[in-house]
Amino acid sequence: MELCTTKHGLQSLFLFIFLCALVHAQTTSTSILGTVTDANGALVPAAKVTALNVKTGTKREDSTSSSGDFNFPLLDVGEYEVTVEAPGFKTGVSSNIILQVNEKVRVDFSLDVGSTTERVEVTSQASVLRTDDATLGQTVEQRRVVELPLNNRSLGALAILQPGVQYGPRSGSDGQGFGQRQGSHGIPIPGIGLSIVANGQRETNQHATLDGVVATEARVNTVPFSPSVEAVEEFRVLSGSYSAEYGFNAGAQMIIVTRSGGNDFHGAAFEFLRNDVFDAENYFQNYFTLPGAPRLKKDSLRQNNFGGVLSGPVLIPKIYNGRNQTFFMVNYEKRIRRQSGLAQQANHPPAAFRRGDFSALLNRRTEGGAALPSIQIVDPLTGTPFTGNIIPESRIAPAARALLAFWPEPQRVLPDPLTGFNYTGLERRTLDDDQRFIRIDHNFSEKDKVFGRYAFNDVTYNVLPGDNPNFSYFVAGRNQNVASQWIHVFTPSLINEFRYGYNRSVNNTLNPRANTDFDIEALGVPGFRVVNDNNRPFTSRETGVPTISVNAFSALSEQDGGNGFDFNNLHQFSDNVTISRGAHNMKTGFDYRWVKLFRGAANVPRGGLTFGGDIAGNAFAAFLLGYPSNTTTPEGLPLTEVRQHRMAFYFTDDWKASRKLTMNLGLRYEYNTVATDILGLWRSLSFTDTVNGLPTLVPDVGTPYGFYKPQKNVLMPRLGLAYRPTDDWVIRV
């Protein structure tokens, strides 16, 4: 009695956890369906059909309809055995049926006359053709997921195996799952995520689910969290003609299903190694090496991915035996990457220029020795030349003197200080990625089962540019994904599925130009910082070294165009109902998402100064004297706190019009509220309400406002046909 009470207490605890943690109308389950006939082809109604999950031991039962059809919707992926029993016939058994994610697998039976105690077993008679839907897509099962040599062990490498699919710009050429922002260094940035493009669609039109939960972040629709390949059961990309239960985006639909535990314990450990010892030298490694400079060594690469996975039943000795009932799967992966890239070149101010000595400009030469026009440095205040082309030390601006420290010393002297490159260096990158993953599945009975899963990774990424090591780039991020599901079987033909999901992506971008003691206003440039959003004080993160652009020399600038942060949150609730009635397999449901985004980002948070040669005869001379050609006012990091509600309703009907023709009918409705900034800082220009002919800002500061009217009539009908002229041919339209 005590044991029984403990067991029920544990069941109640599991239910409490799942309902409280308790993903989205896009289910990851699949179906087994078929038709039962006798040896003469006559339909067999009221036959008992049982589907057994070989891995977990769970069963589902159904009876054939008057047309001899049966259907098991919302099954987990994996291996199954299907048994058919009917009075006056031998028992039919079909084993080794492999179900893949979101596919309808047809298993037809032809029963022989005899006793039900006699068994006729057939191995792997499930059709390899998808005979009952017109969806275009391809599935990669668990064995291939693990065994394929994926570069960087990235699931993105699986996506581009599908026809018409390639990496999006934010994923870069290797699809590491770390976005590719376009800048002077093309730095992959954690927190942006994996992106793909399919059939000409933009990457922002992609959509991905992880165990049925939305896995794309809400701003640019990339996938910030990509699970370890050891934790993946199946991976599929739908590229077109998919069901009405899929939507929100018109591009590819990536579906990732993670592994669950079973009645047996399974485990694995792995080590993935990449090392430049095994690599050839890049042909262009020293192609741009400057004369007299030392040859650069081969690109350095040290990458180690290691970890392990363990799954099985939950067993607590003498307390709880979870076989056939409760299962777990845990996974850990650590990635450490140290890499130096190709050579980067720059032209930094020579030592003489830094002292104010521009005499070299009076005797400029090309590399071949040909004379170039001389340049005279003049005093902007009087227009008179400086004696010997040398600016007195007393005239050098304090701010300029402080900024000189951010330019590296040149490696060689150029015949013409304004032409060519005097500095070469290797870009260096470091990456540390810790990923943790846990999943629990529990079967309360044949009618109720739940699962919960939590996965997250902590990522740090640092880039030391080769052309200016003083401006490294650092990103810290944490991505989290929560999924839970409760399936209740009312009857074999009426099943409900409830899901809750949570997706969070944090991207925190740092740059050494910020959080420093450098204060340009304290160095003689008053009023440089004017105002930011809501007139709040500038934080230390928004101050520091501004962008300095000097003609003929490398700029002091951001490596990524900004120095901000993203806190991207998405909550999701959905419910799906599956109904089977004769020749109709229907499904209906809703999907609700609540988007919360807190973001601070700007192109020029610390402002900028540009120096040209028209003021003092030379741009760097104007810089030393403190006379910019133009300035950009710092905008700080404008804060945005966005809220949006997204919802969808759908209905599908897979109608078996005949034994050879299946029609996939569907209708989807979507409604998105206007994204609003609860801080009330979004504003736009009104060209109808003008003052003196100029547009005005609307609305007033502090008023939450959207920039467009929401669409309320977004109806999306779906129609697909799957016609089977023979058992070996399927025509999909």
Tell me if 35 is assigned to some domain.
yes
CA distance 682 to 236: 39
**Chain centroid to CA 161: how far?**
18
* Helix ranges restricted to H, 258-385: 351-354
* Helix ranges restricted to H, 48-196: 142-147, 156-159
Q: Give the structural domain span for 29.
A: 23-128
Tell me if 106 is assigned to some domain.
yes
Type and span of the H or E element at 384: none
CA distance 248 to 672: 9
CA distance 606 to 519: 10
- Which band of pLDDT confidence, cut at 50, 70 and 90, is reported for residue 470? confident
Lowest mean pLDDT, pick from 188-197, 328-337, 350-359, 642-651: 188-197
Buried b (16+ CB within 10 A) or exposed e, 668-678: bbbebeebbbe
The tally of domains found in the chain comes to: 1
Task: Please tell me the predicted confidence (pLDDT) of residue 403.
Answer: 92
Q: What DSSP letter does each residue of 155-187 carry, written as one string?
A: THHHHTTSTTEEE-GGGTTTT-SSEE--SSS--
Tell me if 102 is assigned to some domain.
yes
R_g of the chain computed on alpha carbons: 33
CA distance 434 to 307: 10
Contact 194, 172 (CB under 8 A): no
Mean pLDDT, residues 632-646 taken together: 84
Task: Please tell me the predicted confidence (pLDDT) of residue 597.
Answer: 92
CA distance 563 to 510: 6
Tell me if 363 is assigned to some domain.
no
- In the predicted model, is pLDDT for residue 573 greater than 90? yes
Percent of the chain with pLDDT over 90: 38
Contact 493, 570 (CB under 8 A): no
The CATH number that applies at residue 63 is 2.60.40.1120
Mean pLDDT, residues 615-626 taken together: 96
Lowest mean pLDDT, pick from 358-362, 409-413, 428-432, 676-680: 676-680
Note the pLDDT tens digit of each residue in 264-295: 999 999 999 988 888 877 776 666 666 666 67
**What are the φ and ψ backbone dihedral angles of 535, each rounded to 5 degrees?**
55, 30
Task: Please tell me the predicted confidence (pLDDT) of residue 102.
Answer: 72
Mean pLDDT, residues 38-46 taken together: 88
- For residue 575, give the nearest of 496, 654, 493, 492 by alpha carbon: 496
- SS3 of 270, please? strand
Q: What DSSP letter does each residue of 613-634 carry, written as one string?
A: TTTTSSHHHHHHHT--SEEE--
Note the pLDDT tens digit of each residue in 229-261: 889 888 888 876 778 888 888 777 888 889 999
Task: Please tell me the predicted confidence (pLDDT) of residue 532.
Answer: 61
Q: Residue 159: which residues within 8 A CB-CB, separation 6 or more? A: 165, 175, 194, 196, 235, 237, 252, 254
Tell me if 34 is assigned to some domain.
yes
- For residue 50, give the nearest of 61, 58, 63 by alpha carbon: 61
Tell me if 536 is assigned to some domain.
no
Note the pLDDT tens digit of each residue in 289-340: 666 666 767 778 899 999 999 999 999 999 999 999 999 999 999 999 998 8
| Strand ranges for 492-553 from DSSP E | 494-510, 547-550
Task: Please tell me the predicted confidence (pLDDT) of residue 125.
Answer: 47
Report the mean per-residue pLDDT for the chain.
82
Tell me if 15 is assigned to some domain.
no
- In the predicted model, is pLDDT for residue 107 greater than 50? yes
- In the predicted model, is pLDDT for residue 1 greater than 50? no
**Chain centroid to CA 383: how far?**
57
Note the pLDDT tens digit of each residue in 112-165: 888 766 667 665 444 455 666 666 666 777 777 777 777 778 777 777 777 778
Tell me if 48 is assigned to some domain.
yes
- Which band of pLDDT confidence, cut at 50, 70 and 90, is reported for residue 28? low
Contact 43, 37 (CB under 8 A): yes
Task: Please tell me the predicted confidence (pLDDT) of residue 129.
Answer: 55
pTM: 0.79
- In the predicted model, is pLDDT for residue 5 greater than 50? no
Task: Please tell me the predicted confidence (pLDDT) of residue 360.
Answer: 95
Helix/strand number for the chain, H first, E second: 6, 39
